[in-house]
Amino acid sequence: MIIEAEGEGFLVHEIIIIPSGTVTEELISAFRFRYDIYVNELAYIKTQYIYELLKMEFDAYDKNSTHFMIKRDSEVIAYARIIADGEEGLPVLNKVGFSNIFTGKKKVEVSRMIIDKEYRLTKVIKDLYKNIFRYLSELDRGTVILADVFVNSNSYKGLKYIGFQESDLRYHDDSFLLDEESVLLYMNTENVKNMLF
> Does residue 94 have a pLDDT over 70?
yes
> Does residue 10 have a pLDDT over 50?
no
Give the C-alpha separation, 173 to 171, whole Å: 6
Q: What is the CATH number of the domain that holds 6?
A: 3.40.630.30
pTM for the whole structure: 0.85
pLDDT bracket for residue 98 (50, 70, 90): low
pLDDT tens digits, one per residue of 45-74 = 777 767 778 888 898 999 999 999 999 988
Pairwise pLDDT comparison (92 vs 68), residue with the higher score: 68
Please give the pLDDT value at position 101.
Answer: 66
Q: Which of 15-19, 84-88, 140-144 has the lowest mean pLDDT?
A: 140-144
Residue numbers of the domain that contains 178: 2-195
Please give the pLDDT value at position 96.
Answer: 76
Please give the pLDDT value at position 133.
Answer: 86
Q: Determine contact, residues 125/78, Cβ cutoff 8 Å.
A: yes
Q: Determine contact, residues 11/73, Cβ cutoff 8 Å.
A: no
Give the C-alpha separation, 134 to 82, whole Å: 12
Question: Which amino acid is it at 120?
Answer: R
Please give the pLDDT value at position 95.
Answer: 80
Pairwise pLDDT comparison (170 vs 187), residue with the higher score: 187
Summary mean pLDDT of the chain: 83
> Does residue 1 have a pLDDT over 60?
no
pLDDT bracket for residue 158 (50, 70, 90): confident
Number of domains in the chain: 1
> Does residue 9 have a pLDDT over 60?
no
Give the C-alpha separation, 16 to 59, whole Å: 20
